[in-house]
Amino acid sequence: MSGSSAATVASLPPKAHAPHLPRQLSDGEFVMLRSAGPALRVPAEETLFRKGEIGHSMYVIETGEVRIEFGDGLPHKILGPREYFGELALFIGNHSRVASATAQTACTLRVIDYPAFDGLMANEPALLAQFMRRSFAYLVASEQQLIGHLKRRNEDLLVTLNSLRETQSELSTANRLVRTDELTGLTNRRGLYQFLQQLPQERTPGRQIGLLLVDLDQFKRINDLCGHLTGDEVLCAVAAEVARVAAVGDLACRLGGDEFALLAQVLTGDELELRAQRIVAGVRALELPLTNPDLEISVSVGGTLCPEGADWSVWYSLADDALYRAKGAGSDTWHISQA
């Protein structure tokens, strides 16, 4: 999908319509969706689904044409290669089809169901979000066009508009989920990289960027002695302590495993050190009901004021070196680099 070669894109079937048609997929979208579902060959005039049925999949047209019939005196639509239909079945669960779909000619389709769509959400979130945003814009425009043709069906119109609102809410939720660590609720690496891209515009004047790396001490021992459920509870508790010291404009995130980070906008190195001290003290004071009473929970924190003009890899390297020094000092402590 994201790793498709130029040769793959070049092998796509020729576009049947102008590339700016609202329901026509871009090269990247077409490759992504075509790779997600099996091929289905349909003879001319075979019905794919009927209006009012509960949808469970969407379709992408590889060859041939499909007729979309809305009924109630509304004009039907003919869709061709590289166009798609039935997407609301995936955007909104248990959604009733608003039209019937019939093969206008013999055609080849790709069928994308819920599991395939969830896989795209996990593996191609940026491209899928782009596709969903454009689909929603088209759906809103189509709804406005339908309003001009409707002679009745006020109740159906209200249902459709409500579906669109639910769809927009689903997109917001999807965008948030792809940036969020499922266990702790903190921002994940993908969200961190998006934050770094926006950071130049989000900087508070007069403040410096500080980075703290937080590593849970002896996490393997916690899992071995108390089990992974307790280990997850400890990770969530540590995540809460990191988030607790984050101010407006800061970002608390889980980098993976038992490693967390805090990007903070601070006035001085002393302020960054105070943040590190608060995290260490907060974790040290944790009392969790599922843990072994003889097991002490602690973290080591390394930090640095981030050099202006340097990228994330430099910031991370400096903070990681400080974390190594904190670990070497016996853990349950912090070290702030003076670089």
pLDDT tens-place string over residues 282-325: 999 888 766 566 678 899 999 999 998 899 999 999 999 999 99
pLDDT at 154: 62
Task: List beta partners, residue 180.
Answer: 187
Q: Do 98 and 160 meet the contact criterion of CB atoms below 8 Å apart?
A: yes
Neighbours of 15 (CB within 10 A): 16
How sure is the predictor about 153, in pLDDT bands with cuts at 50, 70 and 90?
A: low
Q: Give the residue carrying structure tokens 């509870």.
A: 233
CA neighbours within 13 Å on the CB side: how many for 188? 15
pTM of the model: 0.51
Domains and CATH numbers, the chain: 6-177 (2.60.120.10), 189-336 (3.30.70.270)
How sure is the predictor about 202, in pLDDT bands with cuts at 50, 70 and 90?
A: confident
How sure is the predictor about 4, in pLDDT bands with cuts at 50, 70 and 90?
A: very low
pLDDT at 6: 36
Q: Could you give the C-alpha distances from 212 to 14, 188, 253, 331, in angstroms and in order?
A: 52, 15, 11, 15
Residue 3 above 80 pLDDT? no
Residue 168 above 90 pLDDT? no
pLDDT at 11: 44
Is residue 42 within a helix (H) or strand (E), and if so which, with residue range?
Answer: strand 39-42
Three-state DSSP state, 34: helix
pLDDT at 295: 75
Gap between the Cα atoms of 135 and 125, Å rounded: 15
Three-state DSSP state, 52: coil
How sure is the predictor about 121, in pLDDT bands with cuts at 50, 70 and 90?
A: confident
Three-state DSSP state, 141: helix
Min mean pLDDT across 62-66, 197-201, 215-219, 325-329 is at 197-201
Q: Nearest-CA neighbor of 49 among 96, 16, 117?
A: 96
Three-state DSSP state, 58: strand
- Report residue 141 CA to chain centroid gap: 25
Q: What is the pLDDT of residues 51-102, one digit of tens each?
A: 999 999 999 999 999 999 988 777 888 999 999 999 888 887 777 898 999 9
Which long-range contacts does 280-286 make (Cβ < 8 Å, 24+ apart)? 280/332, 280/333, 280/334, 282/241, 282/244, 282/245, 283/237, 283/238, 283/241, 284/332, 286/234, 286/237, 286/238, 286/241
How sure is the predictor about 132, in pLDDT bands with cuts at 50, 70 and 90?
A: confident
12 versus 230: the higher-pLDDT residue is 230
Q: What is the pLDDT of residues 242-279, one digit of tens each?
A: 999 999 889 999 998 999 999 999 999 999 999 999 99
pLDDT at 221: 86
As a whole number, the mean pLDDT across the chain is 84
Residue 177 above 80 pLDDT? no
pLDDT at 149: 57
pLDDT at 160: 64
Q: Nearest-CA neighbor of 319 among 187, 214, 178, 176?
A: 214
